[in-house]
Structure 1
Amino acid sequence: MIGSTHAVAANAAFDEARLVAYLEGRIPGFSGPIKVEQFAGGQSNPTYRLTTSDAQYVLRRKPAGVLLKSAHAVDREFRVTRALFEVGLPIAEPLVLCEDDDVIGTMFFVMRYVPGRSFWDPMMPGLDPAERAAIYDSANETLARLHMVDFAALGLSDYGRPGNYFARQISRWSRQYESSRTQNIPEMDRLIEWLPTAIPDTGDTTAIIHGDFSFHNLLIHPTEPRVSAVIDWELSTLGDPLGDLTYHMLEWFRPAGVDVRGTLKGADLAALGIPDADEYARRYCERTGLKSDPTAPFYEAFNLFRVAAILQGIAGRARDGVQTAENAQEVITRIEPLARAAWHAAREAGAT
């Protein structure tokens, strides 16, 4: 998992010797001493690279402090990634889950380190058009493969509630926004009122969904144009695959300046070798048999609202002193622009 690391922040440190003592004997071949570095940019579950004399691992843990109910469930991440790894999806192999808070202070799990490239800018500067095209097709295929997994056969029928996905998500993120509210944003209040009334009828398809399927959570093989691992499964659940696809497709619709990630909006996609939104959606639908239109403006409004609510959770943690990312204050400034962009999309979908 290539990404910048830094020395472990004081509020995210733990007893490294105690960790080594716990992992020795639980992970075959693991032995100390270890070098511990913290990955930059994590907004929710602090993530670390562990380096021994002959191997590298990644540790994800719950943050310390009072947490929102159901948030930061690293045990859920471990469960779903282990099941998906065993059926051959590109996943970093999960190795051990520790539910004993006494080891490093909070629950955590350890997985193998997967080398790869991640892209915060979906235009993927520095690549040639053919490589971009292959990477986008691999991402499309990976998402389709995930949504076609028989979750019941994997023992994951209880991993989430089937049906009414968008209604449940709107309710969940509306509650999080309210419980974390640090300012009044009229557009968020309008969206909370309008979104439940505008959900398209897409049937009752249920799949395992990742919840944050963006290119920064896809590790691309170091030398080949393919997905080598999908990471950060904190928001995964059972739900409508359109939830994953339309969030992923914000890459095409996201207004500039509302996210630390770049956007494809306004880009010369043909010159870049990147498919347009209709072509990308068509390829996914061919692979899965999905019949709905993922480019409808409701989905843009919903997903921008969802991101704004997630960032409001960061604002709430910062307010309460449970801050897990050094750039939290910068992220917080994006909540209001996201809400305005979401309401603009809602107006395109018929909101008044």
Structure 2
Amino acid sequence: MATSRQETFSGTKEVSENLAIDAARLEAYLARHIAGFSGPLTIRQFKGGQSNPTYLLETPSRKYVLRRKPPGKLLPSAHAVDREYRVMKALGPTPVPVPQALHLCEDESIAGTMFYVMSFAEGRIFWEPLMPASSGEERAAVYDSMNAAIAALHTVDPAAVGLADFGKPGNYFERQIGRWSKQYKASETDPLPEMDRLIDWLPGALPDEARTEETCIVHGDYRIDNVVFAKDSAEALAILDWELSTLGHPLADFTYHLMLWRLPAEGAFPGMAGADLTALGIPTEAEYAEAYCARTKRPMIRNMDYFMAYNAFRIAAILQGIAGRVRDGTATSDAAKQTVKGIPGLAKLAWEFARAAGAK
């Protein structure tokens, strides 16, 4: 019987040998820099998280979470834990659910690479979007809570929270297509003709609604398994994994999130395509998009096939970065090798969406 994603990624494990941290040195450092921190400290590694190694720090009085850059040769601009820390710190006073950002350490002698420490959100992560162990009522409530959280993020004024310079203004889609095209090529392992076609087609096919100068804080990887929900309710307690956050176009962020409705149930990024969502209590793609548009006071989203092609391409490029780390020996998750097997399928799916949007 295949192991479920819930079993594979939930909880912690012993720290991998190549990612070990000197507990005594870290304990002494955090006691000096975090109010109320007191050992003895034990460290375990979270099973989830394929980009930045993430650790559970336990002390007699409190649990914390540490995220660090992986060791080894890294792609330019990748693994920006300092940006993660900055955006969570800035969003702390807003309605957006984020962990409490407690300390950023740029001194690589403490843990081997730059890291930050945040509060531990005691709750649940749903690793499977169809939430097989939940009732229809709970699924409906969780998806509504998740919708409200991304709408809250997109309605925060970046300048009001000190993030006016968190990214470049304008031309977000063009810049993202350029960035992920370069990242894909830098990590390329096996040639994929669909990715080359997408790199050529995407920039010239941008729909008008993607060319507007709308700018908000975008998460960059908003998925159900990047949100911690309360143990006994559907409340979203904390949005995690802000590595790809920046200033960008809200439609890029939200339609990436909507990929969940278009991706197959089996794959590196499992989705809900083909499932009877109404029977499960989960809103349809159209219903979910309508709720978001109502919350953010925007017109309904058109040109969805283009946005799906763009996002499937982007996911494939992200996974190709993991493939490059597997090749170079710096991948931080046991599941990384399995994850990268989904790249060819995602590239094909992205090109199918592009064809539906008019690509030849």
Give the TM bin, normalised by the shorter chain. over 0.9
Match of 1:330 in 2: 338
Letter in 1 for 2:275: A
2:277 aligned to which of 240, 258, 269? 269
CA contact (8 A) 1:278 1:295 kept: no
Match of 2:249 in 1: 240
Deviation at 1:164, TM superposition (A): 1.1
TM-aligned CA distance change 1:295 to 1:119, over 3 Å: farther
CA contact (8 A) 1:173 1:310 kept: yes
Q: Deviations over 1:51-77 (max 9, x none)?
A: 001110000000111111111010100
Match of 1:128 in 2: 135
Alignment partners' CA distance in 2, 1:251 and 1:320: 30
Q: Deviations over 1:106-126 (max 9, x none)?
A: 000000100111112211112
Match of 2:286 in 1: 278
CA contact (8 A) 1:281 1:294 kept: no
Match of 2:328 in 1: 320
Alignment partners' CA distance in 2, 1:39 and 1:62: 14
Alignment partners' CA distance in 1, 2:136 and 2:314: 32
Letter in 2 for 1:319: R
Matched, 1:6 2:13: yes
1:209 aligned to which of 189, 205, 218? 218
Matched, 1:94 2:94: no
CA contact (8 A) 2:95 2:152 kept: no
* TM alignment of 1:253-264, pairs within 5 A: 253-261=262-270, 263-264=271-272
Q: Deviations over 1:29-54 (max 9, x none)?
A: 11111111101132110000000011
Match of 2:30 in 1: 23
Matched, 1:173 2:185: no
Alignment partners' CA distance in 2, 1:275 and 1:329: 32
Alignment partners' CA distance in 1, 2:146 and 2:331: 31
* Secondary structure of the corresponding residue to residue 313 of structure 1: helix
Match of 1:74 in 2: 81
1:146 aligned to which of 150, 153, 162? 153
Alignment partners' CA distance in 1, 2:102 and 2:303: 38
Deviation at 1:294, TM superposition (A): 5.6
Deviation at 1:84, TM superposition (A): 0.4
Deviation at 1:25, TM superposition (A): 2.8
Match of 2:3 in 1: none
Alignment partners' CA distance in 2, 1:218 and 1:64: 26
Alignment partners' CA distance in 2, 1:110 and 1:227: 20
Deviation at 1:260, TM superposition (A): 4.5
Which stretch of structure 1 is more off in the superposition, 278-287 or 250-259?
250-259
Match of 1:184 in 2: 191
Matched, 1:249 2:258: yes
Deviation at 1:198, TM superposition (A): 1.2
Which TM-score applies when normalising by structure 2? 0.95
Match of 2:359 in 1: 351
Alignment partners' CA distance in 1, 2:143 and 2:336: 30
Alignment partners' CA distance in 2, 1:86 and 1:97: 18
CA contact (8 A) 2:10 2:48 kept: no
Deviation at 1:292, TM superposition (A): 4.8
Q: Deviations over 1:220-251 (max 9, x none)?
A: 11001121110010000000011111011111
TM-aligned CA distance change 1:264 to 1:36, over 3 Å: same
Deviation at 1:98, TM superposition (A): 0.3
Letter in 1 for 2:251: L
CA contact (8 A) 1:301 1:342 kept: yes
Match of 2:314 in 1: 306
| Alignment gaps of 5+ in structure 1 | none
Alignment partners' CA distance in 2, 1:61 and 1:334: 26
* Secondary structure of the corresponding residue to residue 134 of structure 2: coil
Alignment partners' CA distance in 1, 2:302 and 2:153: 17
* Secondary structure of the corresponding residue to residue 108 of structure 2: coil
